[in-house]
Structure 1
């Protein structure tokens, strides 16, 4: 069975030049397109994964009108001569413009850059993955689990300070990864990463990324037939160096980071903001989803269910620290989140009352938190985590897959590890949302009776909504925090569908 399906639209049929083992390639001309669509079970549905436009000129109103009706982020083209009206529709539907113009090149791009698998992972400076080699006279210490700190005078020549452990599958032969390093520095100290590739016990190639280049996504890999690789860490200059996480994502060669068409931003404080906007059917509501914890792999959540709803949606993924920091933090970081939401609203010509904020587990807090900044029509949250101080101060919580994540989140949000910060962290949400008119925001809430993560805060949340005359739909199931995932997804989808229908009926 083919991995991907494509409808080619153009004068010249490429089918004979495509390896159809992995791609179900179908062809039609512009003139034959209406007839082809009428033969479908549903002529208004795009049955293929992608549409590839292979004519060098695009001017047909018949074709542009059809593209306007199809889902966004599904059209690929390379034409340079395009009428203004056609170009406007391509832009609005967020079509992909590529430089490749041959069947073989397009096929390669489809198989490498347009797949929907989200391939991204952290390589952390933890006890398990980082082997420090502090030079003589350099002080080394750990803060939490994911902070490796060096201080001193490293000299003016690069010297190795450690090695990051790698795993089979981190990199794939012939394939490139995009990497960037989450770290802090002071004074003149600088850091360098060397990716050393081996074959037959000999060095095959060395790729180096140095200094400020590490704060942007940088290409590494693409090596033929290597057998193993190492990541060596070097430093020079004087000062303090605090190493956190090396992010590695499969390269899409400029077409996205985790998904085709997503957006990667970096704040002035060197915090990344990952988002994915799909304008859907252009009608309210705009659904904004915040991802839950991402302990081992980077990724957005709820894309599939939101595609089924058909509405515009905006996804956020937080992969700071070990697996996220509740999508909040510095003023610069939070402003990026707000600006990204308002940009999507402006693109669709929507107002705050046209927005729904949603999230579960770690994503529940930002769904409520940013209600103060967006003033949405509704929020839909599940398995809420609210009391960040109580959660991160629970010494018995880190275990199994969590691996001290909460402790590092506490250090990240409070700037230190101290029991006196519990009340301050617990009040972060309440202080931010206390001046919101919650009587005008509909709330749908899914909880579990034995939720051991933050279950004690639920009565406080329900009391808050009651005192603020908030219209609440509350469903509770038996189970601990990680239980009832299918039921939770059904609840969220049902509530979003109901809200969509009622909001559109009222317009």
Structure 2
């Protein structure tokens, strides 16, 4: 990784620089030294002395948000222009009394490539000591009943281990739900590299400790073996274990990445980039992705304006951003929080997404008075997608069956709902007032889509008789046959909508 230090004395002259870290020092008064071509790529920047704004702006393109660490005294009382620069870079006040300690933390917090994956529930094995029947609930949970007091007993274990490398901390988050009469533990063992029987780390985590993600940081590399123990009386449902490279407090996946979680231990993640702090705020929902992390960073960054990335790590590659009221409400609050913090109106927001992300964009976008919703390869009727799978898409995208079979949403009266009922209620809301209101809707869709070939027409029908502006372009093929054309149209329309919005805002 590469570190840029801006200050009055070069830390690398006295501090021990970790292996693999390239250190670049620029004196605050050396204007020539602020040439981006001389500095090159930067992963994290340290500012430990007051610096002329022109010099900071000269290297501004090298500094990504949430990676500018500023000495508290410099950060405390900036000029108005400095404050705007710090806001654009989401600068962090960082105590720098212990320079060596900070330097040692940098490669563990600001590494370049994020990583996230999961131990799937189908890779588990029920303990031979557990007598009760166990069964899979799709790919969501392994369920069983617990009926014993006293000591904890092994319930199940994963047959697959997790690679652990000692230069990166690893974050674990097990999904599970259980009856109140049950109590569980997670047991983690580290099998040292180069051996099959040397256990260099063994730890039992209680439910209280599992309330937050577990961070594994050990001097030995190797493989992590995980198992669940339980006691008490009731039903336990164990889901996958998510494992990710931890930034040890600097964010999730990307520096500044934020985690949202509910009482069912279901997660969503968001990442905010301040851009130029001028409207519109562009919100992008990631598509279906088995690898956990954010999508669309460079496309959205290229637009220049503030943007919010949202990703869904549940099931194999996402649950279409649908959840109980608790998790959905928290995501709604995060979106609202960023709109208010920027001083924008709802009309200054554009929602967007591709495929699974298109559902998130339409579903959440319709809850705000957004300027526009831009969707590629739209999916609206999830029950219809599941129904078509048997003949149109056999043995492909089976996750949709998990979604509709284990539906966890309720109707307006709080009674259990179904995917069909949910879609009917959603379309009824879109048909009503205000519906989409003045929100523009732009869609690129596949004419022979093997997921939801009716999505475009479903949306049009819901807006019949309304003044909603809908712009669409259809392409020949199935859902994944011509993604480059869909993405090109999507990006081109995004730029056009922003240009027209800016012209109207400026009165041109």
Same fold (TM over 0.5): yes
* Alignment TM class, shorter chain as reference: 0.7 to 0.9
Aligned to 2:378: 384
| Counterpart-to-counterpart distance in 2, 1:75 and 1:152 | 47
The answer as to whether partners of 1:72 and 1:280 remain within 8 angstroms in 2 is: no
| Counterpart-to-counterpart distance in 1, 2:244 and 2:295 | 17
Q: What secondary structure does 1:455 align onto?
A: coil
| Counterpart-to-counterpart distance in 1, 2:394 and 2:42 | 41
TM-superposed CA distance for 1:375, in Å, is: 1.2
TM-superposed CA distance for 1:100, in Å, is: 6.5
Question: 1:94 aligned to 83, 90, 95, which one?
Answer: 90
TM-superposed CA distance for 1:116, in Å, is: 3.9
Gaps in structure 1 of 5+ consecutive residues: none
Q: Deviations over 1:473-506 (max 9, x none)?
A: 2122222212322222222221111122211122
Q: Deviations over 1:427-480 (max 9, x none)?
A: 253134333343511121111122101113332223334542322221222222
TM-superposed CA distance for 1:255, in Å, is: 0.4
The answer as to whether partners of 1:18 and 1:25 remain within 8 angstroms in 2 is: no
Task: Kindly indicate whether residue 315 of structure 2 is the aligned counterpart of residue 321 of structure 1.
Answer: yes
Task: Kindly indicate whether residue 407 of structure 2 is the aligned counterpart of residue 405 of structure 1.
Answer: no
Aligned to 2:344: 350
Matched residues, number: 488
Aligned to 2:215: 219
The answer as to whether partners of 2:160 and 2:225 remain within 8 angstroms in 1 is: yes
Question: 1:160 aligned to 154, 161, 172, which one?
Answer: 154
Aligned to 2:421: 424
The answer as to whether partners of 1:364 and 1:383 remain within 8 angstroms in 2 is: yes
Residue 147 and residue 15 in structure 1: after superposition, are their counterparts in 2 closer, same or farther (change >3 A)? same
| Counterpart-to-counterpart distance in 2, 1:216 and 1:67 | 40
Aligned to 1:148: 142
| Counterpart-to-counterpart distance in 1, 2:419 and 2:119 | 29
| Counterpart-to-counterpart distance in 1, 2:58 and 2:229 | 51
| Counterpart-to-counterpart distance in 2, 1:130 and 1:344 | 40
The answer as to whether partners of 1:465 and 1:472 remain within 8 angstroms in 2 is: no
Question: 2:9 aligned to 9, 12, 15, which one?
Answer: 12
Question: 1:393 aligned to 376, 387, 390, which one?
Answer: 387
| Counterpart-to-counterpart distance in 2, 1:102 and 1:479 | 59
Query: Which moves more between the two structures, 23-32 or 440-449?
Result: 23-32
| Counterpart-to-counterpart distance in 2, 1:8 and 1:357 | 37
The answer as to whether partners of 1:387 and 1:425 remain within 8 angstroms in 2 is: no
TM-superposed CA distance for 1:64, in Å, is: 9.2
The answer as to whether partners of 2:353 and 2:374 remain within 8 angstroms in 1 is: yes
| Counterpart-to-counterpart distance in 2, 1:428 and 1:117 | 41
Question: 2:164 aligned to 163, 168, 171, which one?
Answer: 171
Q: How does 1:55-66 map to 2 (within 5 A)?
A: 55=48, 58-60=49-51, 62=53, 66=57
Q: Deviations over 1:137-195 (max 9, x none)?
A: 43322222321112131322011111113246x32234321112211111221111111
| Counterpart-to-counterpart distance in 2, 1:209 and 1:21 | 33
The answer as to whether partners of 1:276 and 1:314 remain within 8 angstroms in 2 is: yes
| Counterpart-to-counterpart distance in 2, 1:251 and 1:101 | 24
Aligned to 2:74: 82
Residue 171 and residue 479 in structure 1: after superposition, are their counterparts in 2 closer, same or farther (change >3 A)? farther
The answer as to whether partners of 2:176 and 2:264 remain within 8 angstroms in 1 is: no
TM-superposed CA distance for 1:281, in Å, is: 0.3
The answer as to whether partners of 2:174 and 2:241 remain within 8 angstroms in 1 is: yes
TM-superposed CA distance for 1:68, in Å, is: 11
Task: Kindly indicate whether residue 265 of structure 2 is the aligned counterpart of residue 270 of structure 1.
Answer: yes
Residue 40 and residue 341 in structure 1: after superposition, are their counterparts in 2 closer, same or farther (change >3 A)? same
TM-superposed CA distance for 1:109, in Å, is: 3.9
Q: Deviations over 1:385-410 (max 9, x none)?
A: 111111123452676663x2111111
| Counterpart-to-counterpart distance in 1, 2:499 and 2:493 | 10
Task: Kindly indicate whether residue 448 of structure 2 is the aligned counterpart of residue 454 of structure 1.
Answer: no
Q: What secondary structure does 1:440 align onto?
A: coil
The answer as to whether partners of 1:175 and 1:222 remain within 8 angstroms in 2 is: no
Task: Kindly indicate whether residue 120 of structure 2 is the aligned counterpart of residue 124 of structure 1.
Answer: yes
The answer as to whether partners of 2:18 and 2:104 remain within 8 angstroms in 1 is: no
Q: Deviations over 1:274-330 (max 9, x none)?
A: 1101111001110111111122x1111111111111110001111122221111221
Q: What secondary structure does 2:358 align onto?
A: helix
Q: What secondary structure does 2:366 align onto?
A: helix
Aligned to 1:196: 189
The answer as to whether partners of 2:351 and 2:365 remain within 8 angstroms in 1 is: yes
The answer as to whether partners of 1:287 and 1:314 remain within 8 angstroms in 2 is: yes
| Counterpart-to-counterpart distance in 2, 1:487 and 1:36 | 43
Task: Kindly indicate whether residue 50 of structure 2 is the aligned counterpart of residue 52 of structure 1.
Answer: no
Task: Kindly indicate whether residue 179 of structure 2 is the aligned counterpart of residue 181 of structure 1.
Answer: no
Task: Kindly indicate whether residue 204 of structure 2 is the aligned counterpart of residue 243 of structure 1.
Answer: no
Q: What secondary structure does 1:494 align onto?
A: helix
TM-score normalized by the length of structure 2 = 0.86
RMSD: 3.1
